[in-house]
Amino acid sequence: MSVLHKVGRQVKYEPVEASPVKSFFVSMLTRDIKLEEAILDLLDNCVDGILRSPKRKNQEKPFAGFKADIVFNKDLFMITDNCGGIPWNLHEYAFRMGRSSDRPEDAPGTVGVYGIGMKRAIFKMGKDCLISTRNGTDRYEVEIKPEWIADETNWKIPVNAARKTMGEDGTEIVIGDLYAGISSRFGEDVKAFKAELERMVATHYAFIIDKGFTVRINGDIVKQYPTRLVFSKQSQGKEAHAIRPFIFKATTEDGVEIFVTVGFTRPIPSLDEIENEQDERQYSSIDAGWTIICNDRAVVYCDRSELTGWGEAGVPRYHNQFIAISGIVEFKSDDASKLPTTTTKRGIDASSPLYLQIKNKMREGMRLFTDYTNKWKTRADESKKQISAGKLLSLDEIKVEAESLPFAATKRTIPQGDQYRPELPMPKQLEPHNRRISFIKGVDEIKCVSKYLFDDDEKEPSIVGEKCFDLILREARK
């Protein structure tokens, strides 16, 4: 409709049509999110369902007994859970585009904030969707048809009593009429897509799966790989010097609980290993770096960039020599809007004042371990003994151990909290009394000398070089 009507030489101003355009929501909302992330949004809804569920009893494994089954093929996508279903009093929120301000209060810890996750996931995948849910006595279904998406004027979605009988409280979402690009990822590319989705679930849901939640993808149970840090209980002569993680914990005035820990996941690499890594890339992915968890979901996984403090404020840039360093930051809040996450819930809001404060602590802790690595890299064998003496502990296990550690209050710095700074072992001589000798020789020449010295032409070049030096040293000292 034209805004301006010329009446003679006069212009008549009319109200502008500013109502939302449905096709905009359907096409634009879905562009900013990866398919795998859209599916993780659906899993987030499952976990929010568990947090609302009265069935949650087990304190140690609060998600035990709850499960989500994801099935996809070239024709459909389906997710079925037993996580409590969608209460009728939340139906407006669940199916409306965006969250209204008068929404009833939700259970503590749920992460749904913006009211777009489920809809975005559905519109990302296909044009036909049936959502069936059972929550106590509420048993209903919502069907979104291609005609509804095409109709720009109709914003009401019909709700019917459920035709499907569900054995327990939960939700089933079936999406059909898949878009061609989605259908091919679930069909022809299924191997690569399933592998990638499984990897993302295993990493982003590691802590929830560890607490008992079961996720199946096309029949296969997803196994988690949570980060574990070396924690040495051995005194090694002096109680104070042992490989343990740095820990910082605090609670903000508005109730966000924070737990930061950083340490070693494995022995530090020797100079030879670092050099070999440059020559031949050993790993397709590396589990070093920072993982940030918001209400049990990992929103950042193994980051090694400035986002998590690498390469800024005195912390060196990430390099393979730091492959053994990992950290975890946990934010917990009953009100998810207080958490420093992005709208996709798969990233951290880098400009959040809370996160910027915590990042100072992350860098402070990280420097202890980059410094240790630099001090010991020429003595990697000795360091290996120190690190291998410890046990690998999960985040929850570290929290248990932390109770008996001597924490110091950090009242004069921001953020305020309590922290434990481990006294990491230091070399007896700060300046190493050894120096590294390195030189380049032809492969055939090294093999020739190796054969001469060891009757074996396959010895490591460093061993061949060292033997040569030892022989000449003996000569020189005669």
Partner 1 sequence: MKQPPYHMRQNKAVDRLMFIEVIKRLDKIGSLSEYTYYGLGGPYLEEFRLLYEFFPDIEMVSIEKNAEIVKRADFHMPCGKLRLEYADSRDFLIHYDPKDKKSIFWLDYTNLSMHTFEDFQTLLPKVTANSIIKLTLRAEPRDYKNEDDRISFRRKFEAFMPDSIVYPPVEFEKLAALLQEMLQIASQQILPAINELVFQPMASFYYTDGDGMFTLTGIVCERNQWDNIRNHFGDLPFSNFNWNKPKSIDLPYLSTKERLYLERHLPFNGDPGEGLLNILGYSIDEDRSKSIAKFRQYADFHRYFPYFIKAIP
Assess 303 for contact with partner 1 (CB under 8 A): no
Binding mask 430-449 for partner 1 (x = CB under 8 A): -------------xx-----
Member of 32, 188, 257, 460 binding partner 1 (CB under 8 A) = 188
Member of 34, 223, 233, 385 binding partner 1 (CB under 8 A) = 223
Choose the binding region for partner 1 from 140-148, 187-195, 247-255, 432-440 (rule: CB under 8 A): 187-195
Q: Are strands 126-135 and 170-178 parallel, antiparallel or unpaired?
A: antiparallel
Member of 43, 142, 222, 354 binding partner 1 (CB under 8 A) = 222
- At residue 456's C-alpha, the angle toward residues 453 and 462, to 5°, is 65
Per DSSP, the residues of 43-75 read HHHHHHHHHH-TT---SSSTTTT-EEEEEE-SS
CB of 391 to partner 1, least distance (A): 16
Choose the binding region for partner 1 from 19-27, 56-64, 186-194, 430-438 (rule: CB under 8 A): 186-194
Residue-wise burial string across 216-249, b where 16 or more C-beta atoms lie within 10 A, e elsewhere: ebeeeebebebbbbbbbeeeeeeeebbbbbbbbb
CB of 185 to partner 1, least distance (A): 7
Assess 189 for contact with partner 1 (CB under 8 A): yes
User: In terms of CB distance, is 259 or 301 closer to partner 1?
Assistant: 301
For residue 376, give both structure tokens.
């010991």
Judge whether 107 and 84 are in contact, CB under 8 Å: no
Determine the size of the site formed for partner 1 (CB under 8 A): 32
Measured CA to CA, the distance from residue 384 to residue 324 in angstroms comes to: 11
Residues whose CB falls within 8 Å of the CB of residue 44, separated by 6 or more in sequence, listed in order: 111, 112, 117, 297, 345
Assess 155 for contact with partner 1 (CB under 8 A): no
**Number of helices (H) and strands (E), helices first, in the chain?**
14, 19
Assess 225 for contact with partner 1 (CB under 8 A): yes
Choose the binding region for partner 1 from 80-88, 130-138, 213-221, 338-346 (rule: CB under 8 A): 213-221
Which residues face 259 on adjacent strands?
249, 330
Assess 75 for contact with partner 1 (CB under 8 A): no
Residues whose CB falls within 8 Å of the CB of residue 450, separated by 6 or more in sequence, listed in order: 456, 457, 458, 459, 464
CB of 201 to partner 1, least distance (A): 8
| Phi, psi angle pair for 401, to nearest 5° | -65, -35
Which residues face 231 on adjacent strands?
391
Assess 455 for contact with partner 1 (CB under 8 A): no
Assess 76 for contact with partner 1 (CB under 8 A): no
Assess 454 for contact with partner 1 (CB under 8 A): no
Return the C-alpha torsion angle 293, 294, 298, 303, nearest 10. Answer: -60
CB of 369 to partner 1, least distance (A): 20
Judge whether 358 and 329 are in contact, CB under 8 Å: yes
Assess 426 for contact with partner 1 (CB under 8 A): no
CB of 74 to partner 1, least distance (A): 10
CB of 459 to partner 1, least distance (A): 14
Measured CA to CA, the distance from residue 119 to residue 96 in angstroms comes to: 8
Assess 202 for contact with partner 1 (CB under 8 A): yes
Member of 287, 349, 371, 401 binding partner 1 (CB under 8 A) = 287
Member of 45, 80, 224, 295 binding partner 1 (CB under 8 A) = 224
Assess 192 for contact with partner 1 (CB under 8 A): yes
- Count other Cβ atoms within 10 Å, centred on residue 154: 11
Choose the binding region for partner 1 from 38-46, 136-144, 275-283, 354-362 (rule: CB under 8 A): 275-283
Question: Which residues of the shown chain bind partner 1 in the complex (CB under 8 A)?
Answer: 181, 184-185, 187-189, 191-195, 198-199, 201-202, 217, 220-225, 280-285, 287, 443-444, 457
